[in-house]
Amino acid sequence: MRWKGRTQSGNVEDRRGMSGGKIAAGGGIGTLAIVLIVWLLGGNPSQLINNMQSGPETGGADPAVIEAEAELAEFAGVVLKDTEDIWTVLFSQSGNTYKVPTLVLFSGAAESACGYSSSATGPFYCPGDEKVYIDLSFLADLQKKLGAHGDFAMAYIIAHEVGHHVQKLLGITDQLDQLRGRVDETEFNRNLVKLELQADFLAGVWAHHAQRTKNILEEGDIEEAMNAAEAVGDDRIQMQSQGYVVPDAFTHGTSEQRKTWFMRGFRTGDMSQGDTFSEN
């Protein structure tokens, strides 16, 4: 993927290496201890953590790690900018306004309107605060696994999360949320899979238009992204109303389904082709 030196989004919230400045303001070690106790007892300490917005410091000061993460942060900013440009145009074409999401880069753990997440969660979108959360160490890990040719795979993951934001703006997430409790769990999970496949489709639509208008793709990029999707799995859905991470009891669709929907979006670039809910 061609990304070096291109414009980055201004909507990145970098929470990496945030230290406890706000913790001290909130009552020093006392607050932190209470948060931990509430957490250990299985409660939700989000109120307490709300103003802290802190993650652990970025580990040791290994310059190679710092440099690699800085590059990944820049990369994520460029991809986010690409999604902003494309979705702004596509929304305005249908008479809508695209409200850009924020990308939160964190290390270790992050607090969101959807609850408390450790890096083990992987990238996710929180409909409650309309932010995409990515642990850079997750991306660094992914890059290590994929090698030098994995950049478009990472772009695909970011575009998929932004796809969830598009679903939120279009009211699809809310519609699905209203099904909760009204249909049995199997049926609800089936719909969650369709939501995931549609996010893949939307990532494909984005790639189509990004390629057409910005020529971002290099030979083999699409194949690499599709292979990576199989290798690394997906985010876990976090639903606004639930307020915590939904156990990953459902699948995100078979890799064949995911590929099919991404490719349909990529080939057509046509939003009207993406009704994963009506199709089998």
In angstroms, the CA 133 to CA 116 distance is 11
Residue at token pair 């290994």 = 62
Contact present, 255 and 78 (Cβ < 8 Å): no
Q: Does 235 bind Zn ion (CB under 5 A)?
A: yes
Q: Which of 47-55, 69-77, 78-86, 198-206 is the region at the interface with Zn ion (rule: CB under 5 A)?
A: 198-206
Q: Does 200 bind Zn ion (CB under 5 A)?
A: no
Q: Which of 101-109, 143-151, 209-217, 227-235 is the region at the interface with Zn ion (rule: CB under 5 A)?
A: 227-235
Which CB, 39 or 188, lies closer to Zn ion? Answer: 188
Residue nearest to Zn ion (CB): 235
Give min distance, CB of 57 to Zn ion, in A.
Answer: 29
- Quote the tokens at residue 92: 């305005």
Q: Which of 2-10, 68-76, 89-97, 194-202 is the region at the interface with Zn ion (rule: CB under 5 A)?
A: 194-202
Q: How many CB atoms lie within 10 A of CB 1?
A: 24
Q: Edge-to-edge strands of the sheet including 124-126?
A: 12-14, 102-106, 131-135, 124-126
Which CB, 58 or 261, lies closer to Zn ion? Answer: 261
Reference 204, options 256, 131, 274; nearest CA is: 274
Contact present, 160 and 199 (Cβ < 8 Å): yes
Give min distance, CB of 234 to Zn ion, in A.
Answer: 5
Give min distance, CB of 267 to Zn ion, in A.
Answer: 21
Give min distance, CB of 219 to Zn ion, in A.
Answer: 27
C-alpha distances in angstroms, 121 versus 75, 93, 143?
21, 35, 17
Burial 92-104 (b: 16+ CB within 10 A, else e): eeeeeebebbbbb
Give min distance, CB of 124 to Zn ion, in A.
Answer: 7
- 278 three-class SS: coil
Which CB, 54 or 198, lies closer to Zn ion? Answer: 198
Give min distance, CB of 235 to Zn ion, in A.
Answer: 5
Which CB, 151 or 196, lies closer to Zn ion? Answer: 196
Quote the distance between the C-alpha of residue 92 and its chain's center.
23
Which CB, 135 or 235, lies closer to Zn ion? Answer: 235
- Quote the tokens at residue 98: 């695209």
Q: How many residues of this chain bind Zn ion (CB under 5 A)?
A: 3
Which CB, 49 or 201, lies closer to Zn ion? Answer: 201
Give min distance, CB of 221 to Zn ion, in A.
Answer: 20
- Binding to Zn ion, residues 132-171 (CB under 5 A): none
In angstroms, the CA 271 to CA 131 distance is 22
Report which DSSP code applies to 59.
Answer: S
Q: Rule CB under 5 A: which residues touch Zn ion?
A: 196, 199, 235
